[in-house]
Structure 1
Amino acid sequence: MSDDGPTGMAPLVVGVVPGQYPEVLRAAATLADGLSAPLICAYVDEASYLVEWDPARLAHRLSLHPDADDAEIRAVTQELRSVAGAACDGLGVAWTLRTLAGDPARALGRLAAEAGAGMIIVGTPERGLGHRISEALNGSVAAWLSHHQNCPVLIVPAPELGPARLPRTSGPAGSA
């Protein structure tokens, strides 16, 4: 099954998470616009796990935290809808938001296969020790996808946070 848009182009799938650096969604929207392809924004709720997968889009999930599940998911998806709309609507890109459950890499891979996606777009892990430890324990979504997918995977790098990205407040050192 394919979710080809009005132009017949295969959709692009982009992994989105709250607080993600905007370059990922911006790159995905720009690419979708250039290809006249629809964009499927996919958020994977890691606090849920998949108990059954049905290609007819009936995914049955159970929450690891059932008391806080529905309200938190609604708040997160509303935030992501707003962010995706801001990135896509100005370009005229057709987009949807899907909430998935389970392991992020495998969930994105399943969605891409089901939708007949032309590409999966993800960001690199955030910088910092906490994210490195998480990546070491859980693995990298980008790395898993790049090794296990049949469609291309675009990995958008984290923005450079060094002096090149900092605004200048004065001229170069030593200038008068």
Structure 2
Amino acid sequence: MSEPHNPQPGVRDWRDPLCVDGPAGPTAPTTHLVVGFDRHNASHIALDYAIGLARVLNAHLHVAHVIDTDDLPIDPDAADWDHAITEVVERERASACSMLAALPGNWTYHAQRGNPGHLLSSIADAHDASMIVIGAPRHGLASLVERLLGESVSTQLIHHGHRPVLLVPEHSPASARLSRP
């Protein structure tokens, strides 16, 4: 599949890496955390947990949104594919930044295409992060296909990475989440 590259004037091209810095926190962070983010509920739960963890640890939180066009609910053969994916990516960015508003500061949102495990590891390495937080792997056919074709993100991070990985279950009870002051 070829991807026409005709961005509209004034509209950010979703193919270009994006980095959005949140406000500075009231104190300098003492560590860094990286959390994976995508459109799936498990990653939203992981981001919520990572926000609480960042608050407790006084950490700078790096949200890594890996844009995977195969994972988006868009027909790649549609005439307006490029416009549709731009809208989906922007909605996901807005969703993450809205959740991050609960954090008093010290956060960064990163978005780019690529291998999720590699991007999470590279951001963690660049900031000497204490750990990587991700949502627990999906269940069902998508997860099975992912395992048959290669490694899941969690497996890749655990087997090839060198940083602790925290898997947050999608259906974790509220009592397991870190409280917000």
- Counterpart of 2:133 (choices 121, 133, 150) is 121
The Cα shift of 1:70 comes to 5.8
Question: Structure 2: any 5+ residue segments left out of the alignment?
Answer: 1-20, 71-75, 173-181
**Paired AA for residue 126 in structure 2:** E
Alignment of 1:88 onto 2:100? yes
Identity %: 32
Q: 1:37 to 1:72 in 2, by over 3 A?
A: farther
In the alignment, does 2:162 pair up with 1:141? no
For residues 69 and 133 of structure 1, the distance between their equivalents in structure 2, rounded to whole angstroms, comes to: 24
Give the corresponding residue for 2:165.
153
Shift of 1:128: 1.4
Q: How many residues align?
A: 142
- Residue type of the alignment partner of 1:140: S
Q: Is the 8 A contact 1:47 1:102 kept in 2?
A: no
Deviation string for 1:59-96 (max 9, x for gaps)? xxxxx99x978645542342223222332212424322
Residue 107 (1) aligns with residue 119 (2):
yes
Are 1:43 and 2:55 an aligned pair?
no
Whichever of the two has the greater Rg, that structure is 1
Distance 1:97 1:109, change over 3 A: same
TM-score, normalised by the number of residues in structure 2: 0.65
Do residues 130 (structure 1) and 130 (structure 2) align?
no
Conservation of the 8 A alpha-carbon contact between 2:97 and 2:109? no
Aligned-residue Cα RMSD (Å) equals: 2.9
TM-score, structure 1 length as denominator?
Answer: 0.67
The CA deviation string for residues 70-129 of structure 1, in whole angstroms up to 9 with x for no partner, is 645542342223222332212424322111332111121111111221211111222212
